[in-house]
Structure 1
């Protein structure tokens, strides 16, 4: 496995880091959550001009990246800035599914910056990808899709949604899932802000769609969803790594400048030990994310074991980094006007998407025993 960035990835990393450092402020981040779309439209347009959606898609499908390390480079920098964007939901999740359906016309829209959300999770499904109650029936005038999708990230900004629905089998069967393209005006939404920034929605579907709305028939959809979620999990872990690096920088600076008893508190041995634990956990998380991104194209059993191992480790490391950084900052770490508050909340919420640390520990054991 090659650990060094290619020249192209290093250029992308440098340009993205400079752009985010110049453009993103705590006040601007706070405004994105209050915006109806859940992100800053102007910043999103400029990020699209930089080519970020295209970096999530392979050259064969009209992009210029798509590898695991492309995900890592981009999302680590977004994590450093703490910026909510629809990139993960539109370009990684929905884009990954569209690449497998062969709908390059829709994928081109995603690369151009249009947002397509993926509506899959439902109330009570937890992290089980096969537990889908939404139903689709074939009728003379097309497909009738009806159901309720929960916590659909980026839905308020989406022009269309990819909706999973059951065309056969019982609620938890692994067979019988299909994917449909549903226009925004065919669903009703109740949107709300997310704790770590951005917005999501409860989505209710009860619509008749044309026959060509079927993107992927039953038999292949569940495997495609699992592959897309593996890539999204890698991106989420890379973002968590960037968040941890940003929190580390803030904490180290604070320990150097905050004085107690006439000297910087960073000279106190107890705080030095706690900071050393944080640094060790971040380096372990980095190694795990690199390992996962290097196995994105591996066969399913190996890939999914790396997914669960990394998500478990990153979840545990994120909790320690958040707790220790706030403890070492004191009360200022909880204020909205200070950057740490937002970064800590966003990092905390990373553990609750695509399976938390406990879920992935059990999944890793089960995959190993299979």
Structure 2
């Protein structure tokens, strides 16, 4: 397998990064916390214009016909900028499922910038951010259906809710729930990887600009070592995400060596969760108490990281899957 990205992947990441930098996502997140959801809706419309929500949908249904590699490249940037909303669901799980079942009518609102969400009976029993979504789905066994929201619960991330849903109208009776779960876990891993990169950048910038005893904080060896540990964790996790994406794309191809896709996805989930958790703790150690405050952007990353660490499978579940694969 090749783990180096092609030029088009770098261009995709750069274009999304530039768009999100101009959008001032932290300001949008704070507006959402204050109850103003319009800036978030506008942001998702712009993301849809870039094709982020259409990457995994077939071209015959108006999608991009891209693969999991392109998806994780895009989602990492969404994590790096702390984009609110059901990211894994709207960029990976739902577009792939609706494309696989031929439901163009349900895809069109997503392509127009209205997020979609889904509850998965094995990995994500509650649907995220249903209030902002045009489409709410549920998977029970191999049955995919539209869903009705019953109860909505707050999350540690003030921009995120999770809802209990009830299956409604059947969309398809024979969907690949295992692959849908792998895509959800893979996209969440990429988002956590982006969050880790964003927190590392915030901590590094602070260490360079903050002075103590007449010297930048970043000049102290202990601070350097902690930040270096985060950088290593991020760079070690990224190839696992790309490798898992390659495995997802190669699954079912006759000219490739069979691989345990779920094992690769779970390995990426463990590594990215660990990197994001380390980045969060190191960021707080570097910034001190200001990192907790709403005024600093790090606080937005901290709460989203904490919420996503158990989304689409807990770390314990993914570790168990890896163990079962290597020591059956």
Does residue 53 in structure 1 map to residue 53 in structure 2? yes
> In the alignment, which of 139, 162, 166 is matched to residue 137 of structure 2?
162
Give the length in aligned residue pairs: 322
1:34 offset after TM fit, Å?
4.2
SS of match in other structure, 1:287:
helix
Distance 1:34 1:284, change over 3 A: same
Distance 1:199 1:257, change over 3 A: closer
1:177 offset after TM fit, Å?
4.2
Q: Deviations over 1:12-58 (max 9, x none)?
A: 32221111111124232122244476971111112222222122323
Cross-structure match for 2:113: 113
1:284-295 mapped onto 2 (5 Å cutoff): 284-295=236-247
1:316-355 mapped onto 2 (5 Å cutoff): 316-355=274-313
Contact 2:156–2:307 (CA under 8 A) maintained in structure 1? yes
TM-score, length of structure 1 as denominator length: 0.79
Cross-structure match for 1:95: 95
Q: Which consecutive unaligned segments of at least 5 residues does structure 1 have?
A: 122-127, 130-148, 166-175
For 1:199 and 1:49, how far apart are their aligned partners in 2? 23
Q: Deviations over 1:187-240 (max 9, x none)?
A: 34433443235333433538xx6xxx32222xx33xx12212211222111111
Cross-structure match for 1:125: none
Q: Which consecutive unaligned segments of at least 5 residues does structure 2 have?
A: 252-257
Contact 1:151–1:200 (CA under 8 A) maintained in structure 2? no
1:108-187 mapped onto 2 (5 Å cutoff): 108-121=108-121, 128=122, 151-165=126-140, 177-182=142-147, 187=148
Contact 1:117–1:160 (CA under 8 A) maintained in structure 2? yes
What RMSD over aligned residues (CA atoms) do the two structures have, in Å? 2.5
> In the alignment, which of 306, 313, 319 is matched to residue 361 of structure 1?
319
Contact 2:185–2:313 (CA under 8 A) maintained in structure 1? no
1:263 offset after TM fit, Å?
1.1
Q: Deviations over 1:247-288 (max 9, x none)?
A: 111111111121111111222122222222111111111121
Contact 2:139–2:177 (CA under 8 A) maintained in structure 1? no
Cross-structure match for 1:243: 195
Contact 2:128–2:163 (CA under 8 A) maintained in structure 1? no
Cross-structure match for 1:85: 85
Does residue 303 in structure 1 map to residue 261 in structure 2? yes
Contact 2:44–2:114 (CA under 8 A) maintained in structure 1? no
For 2:151 and 2:291, how far apart are their aligned partners in 1? 32
Cross-structure match for 1:202: 163
SS of match in other structure, 1:293:
helix
Cross-structure match for 2:233: 281
Mark the structure with the bigger radius of gyration. 1
Q: Deviations over 1:164-204 (max 9, x none)?
A: 34xxxxxxxxxx6422224xxxx344334432353334335
SS of match in other structure, 1:29:
helix
Cross-structure match for 2:254: none
SS of match in other structure, 1:253:
helix
